[in-house]
Homo-oligomer: A and B are copies of this chain.
Amino acid sequence: MAKKDVKKILVAYSGGLDTSVIVHWLKANYNNPEIIAMNADVGQDEDFDALEDKALKSGAAKLYVEDLREEFLTDFVWQALKANAKYDGNYLMGTAYARPLMSKRMVEIAHEEGCDAIAHGCTGKGNDQVRFELGIREFDPNITIIAPWREWDLKSREDEFQYAESHGIPLKFTREEGYSEDENLFHISHEGLDLEDPTNKPDYDNLLSVSVAPQKAPDTETKVSVSFEKGIPTAVDGEKLDPIPLMQKLNKIGGENAVGLLDIVENRLVGMKSRGVYETPGGEVLYHAHNKLEEMTIDRDTFHFKQHVAIKYGELVYNGLWYSPLRKSLQAFVDYTQENVTGTVEMELYKGNIIDVSVTSPYTLYSEELASFEEDDIYEQNDAEGFIKLFGLGQTTRVIAEQSWKEEK
């Protein structure tokens, strides 16, 4: 493929092997463009101080380190939490929230810096290339996007190492391949190596990063409560917390108690099934608590239809369509449903379990009087007879008709 003529490239820079090689490769293969590196802090465990040195040594002219953590939570994770968004049934996602946000900031910086291209280090077989590129085009549909993994001849980590060595790029990585991982304040993902065979049980002791396996968790329960206002988490254990410390606190408690581990074969957008192991400790606690609160505060019909919306919402997010009109329209639906999702949920975390303790809300629709099998003021048991007869009238009509059809034969 002929290389487009670009002069200044913004590179989504992680500091890992891929992006280190990419910076060099772009300069070598694209007529020596100026490279602006951008690293997004979405809560990953990273030595941000060392990054700049590394980026410059790789050949970048400049490194931006952008703290997107709060925006990541408030504008993305909290919104999806309200929707109860999951993908493929159980996957709470995480990376899919970070990509569109990073893309937005990348375009902003590209515009400020006058870059005529944006490059990312995603492979050509994954979801993230789609999420990045749709995210970028949302804010600049015309900017050139470069995905070196789809262009170059390097086919493996080993190829990258050889490239780095032969071009004198300083690397501090071990040659041994690790899992493919992506971390942010909401989750950390693990793919690759032995996980690619679904008959292999994950080696949790080596794999896990912010959590422990249930067997390694404490022998006593840890109490935790989360409070919500209109579906948004606002306090832990009664203490009002800003989004970042709130999430950090729940990640810590959840992770220590082995909550939020998922081992799944999922359906990638680009058409294949892949296997991942995910840690979402605080997220699992939040989803669980939010759902408990919705059980009490959302009426039946809305609760049921919202289940369908959650599925669609999850598909859109997973597929990189965060900025789509449909995701935003579904958000309008979701937000309306959250008007009364306010209250506090108490739980005990214990070796992977979230044990319910209590739910309280000023806007509960649960009525102890009604729920009781005893008499009450509103409900007359006799009404049930008429209800059942009309609820079943279509059936009765059908059965009687069926009998007459049989007789006619």
Residues of A within 8 A of B (CB): 1, 88-90, 123-126, 129-130, 133-134, 137-139, 141, 147, 149-150, 155-156, 180, 192, 196-202, 213-215, 221, 258, 263-267, 269-275, 291-292, 295-296, 298-308, 311-312, 315-316, 321, 323-326, 328-333, 335-337, 350-353, 355-360, 362-368, 370-375, 378-401, 403, 405, 408
Contact = CB atoms under 8 A, between A and B. Distances in A.
Given A351-B351, A395-B134, A291 B371 contact: no
A271 B326 contact: no
Contacts of A267: 299-300, 303-304, 394
Contacts of A274: 371
A22 to B, nearest CB: 15
A121 B367 CA distance: 24
Nearest to A139: B399
Given A141-B400, A272-B379, A301-B316, 16 more contacts: A125-B384, A126-B373, A155-B374, A199-B359, A215-B350, A263-B356, A265-B359, A266-B295, A270-B384, A272-B393, A299-B324, A304-B315, A305-B330, A351-B353, A363-B405, A365-B401
Contact of A125 (B1, B88, B359, B373): B373
A124 B392 CA distance: 16
Given A326-B302, A366-B198, A89 B291 contact: yes
Contact of A371 (B275, B366, B385): B275
Contact of A357 (B147, B201, B332): B201
Contacts of A90: 291
A359 B198 contact: yes
